[in-house]
Amino acid sequence: MDSDRPVVRLARSYRFSAAHFYWDPRLDAEENEKLFGKCANRHGHGHDYRLEVVLQGVPNPETGMLFDLRELDRTVASALLERLDHRNLNHEVEFFASRQPTCENLALYAWQALAGRLPAGRLEAVRVHESADLVAEYRGPRG
């Protein structure tokens, strides 16, 4: 990047609703409840998640913009929101067939879904807010 021009970070927020539960099939019901508490209820529960996508780079000198937000919105919608919104993460999202659908794993999933669809080095971080007091951030490999 041109060292004469400042690097800017830009965050865009999105919302989706999804259900999940935590369960380890290697454990019995009592052990799952002890490990995961009320989140081990196999009927699940839901959250209204907030996803933040953080981009970084040097803004275009002609437009003053880092990235076309309409393009970002389309990318996030097709890569993530259409796959997550109003879904049961345990049963409808293949990524969670072998992982707990935690906030941390949702952040990893979001990164992996977006990284190949955005220009190399532009994706800085993803944050998944499960509630007002719980957020996971993932900053994956760049390139």
Domain boundaries, the chain: 8-138
Cβ neighbours, 10 Å, residue 37:
10
Catalytic residues: 39, 86, 130
Domain 8-138, CATH homologous superfamily name and number: 6-pyruvoyl tetrahydropterin synthase/QueD (3.30.479.10)
4-21 mean pLDDT = 95
* 58-95 pLDDT per residue, tens: 999 999 999 999 999 999 999 999 999 999 999 999 99
Which residue from 105, 100, 103, 79 is spatially nearest to 27, judged by alpha carbons?
100
Q: For residue range 89-121, what is the model confidence (pLDDT) as tens digits?
A: 999 999 999 999 999 999 999 999 999 999 999
What is the distance between the alpha carbons of residues 35 and 27, in angstroms, rounded to a whole number? 10
Amino acid identity of residue 60, one-letter, is N
Q: If DSSP states are collapsed to H, E and C, what string results for 76-119?
A: HHHHHHHHHCCEEHHHHCHHHHCCCCCHHHHHHHHHHHHHCCCC
One-letter identity of residue 59: P
Sign of the CA dihedral 64, 68, 70, 72?
negative
Task: Give me the percent of the chain exceeding a pLDDT of 70.
Answer: 97
Q: Specify the DSSP class assigned to residue 1.
A: -
